[in-house]
Amino acid sequence: MPLLELEDVEARYGAVKALHGVTLRVDEGKIAAVLGANGAGKTTTLRAISNTVKRSGHVRFAGKSLARRAPESIAKLGIAHVPEGRGTFSELTVMENLRLGGYTRRGPLKDDLQRVRSYFTWIDERGDQQAGTLSGGEQQMLALARAFMQRPKLLLLDEPSLGLAPLVVSEIFRIVKELNEHEGMTVLVVEQNASIALQAASDAYVLEVGKVALSGPSAELREHESVRRSYLGY
């Protein structure tokens, strides 16, 4: 069953059109990846979902149209968007960032904090540290932890590998897979690093100049001639 459906979605920044009719779907419980070169519209696709860019077309989440919903109400519906550049609040402490993740929910956050600790063991002792003083990898993990605190049904991840060392990147993707398997979190991840994204995801979409050029199960795409040459480099 599709949790998220995009149908013929167009988006623009002022006069510049960034998406020319993107159609994609993410099934519940799956990890889907959006691949593509710089400027292909990957980030814009996520923005179109969380309504942080001017867009038209159909965006449906769990059967509900997101057309007229403001970003904050989309967050409340159960979509956590971790934007490019991590989206942590560097002036706030680690703990405050986590509390902010639980902003849309009522009631105490104790259980959630406990669960966050089980995935991100280092977070506990760094609670009072300012998020801006964390390393890049830790900040990305904090962003992930904050999104997890939102208890989303769908996690939108924008280039989690950006500017991070390969070891850190694989650690992050390992956690994303765990969250997907153990917490049932559906994930839509945008990546330039196609090989790691294809490993983690079950389905993938390749964007080219604001359109889906290619799509299918990750295993098939990995074997696909043009994907191999353009994005995997062998």
Partner 1 sequence: MAVASLARTLTRTEARKIKPAPSWIVIGLLVAGCVFLAIGSLQSALFAQQTIAGLASGGIYASLAVALVLIYRATEVVNFSQGAIATFTTYIAWQLMQWGLAYWGAFFLTLAIAFVGGILLELVAIRPVERAGTLTVVIVTIGLLILIEGSVGWIWSAEVKFMPPAFPSRPIQVGGVAFTLQDLGTIGVSIGAVVLLWLFFQFTKLGLGMRAAALRPSAARLAGVRVSWMLSLGWGLAAALGSVAGMMAAASPTVLLQPSMMDTVLIYAFAAAVLGGLESAAGAVIGGLAIGVMLNLLGSYVSWVTPQLLLPATFVLMLIVLLIKPSGLFGRARVRKV
Binding-site ranges for partner 1 (CB under 8 A):
50, 52, 70-72, 75-76, 80-81, 83, 87, 89-92, 96, 99-104, 130, 132-133, 146, 150
Using DSSP's 3-state secondary structure scheme, residue 163 falls into: coil
One-letter amino acid at 190 equals: V
> Cβ 173 to partner 1, closest distance in Å?
21
Nearer to partner 1, 39 or 132 (CB): 132
Minimum CB–partner distance for residue 102 and partner 1 (Å): 8
Residue with Cβ nearer partner 1 (96 or 208) = 96
SS3 category, 166: helix
Residue 83: how many other CB atoms lie within 10 Å: 16
Least separation in angstroms between CB 56 and partner 1: 20
Q: With respect to partner 1, which residue has the nearer C-beta, 64 or 174?
A: 64
Min dist. Cβ of residue 188 to partner 1 (A): 14
Q: Tell which residue, 171, 177, 116, 124, has the closest CA to residue 147.
A: 116
Asked if 142 and 168 touch (Cβ cutoff 8 Å), the reply is no
Q: Roughly what angle, to the nearest 10 degrees, separates helices 136-149 and 166-183?
A: 10
Q: Is the Cβ of residue 44 or residue 150 nearer to partner 1 in the bound state?
A: 150
> 129: which 2 tokens?
């540290």
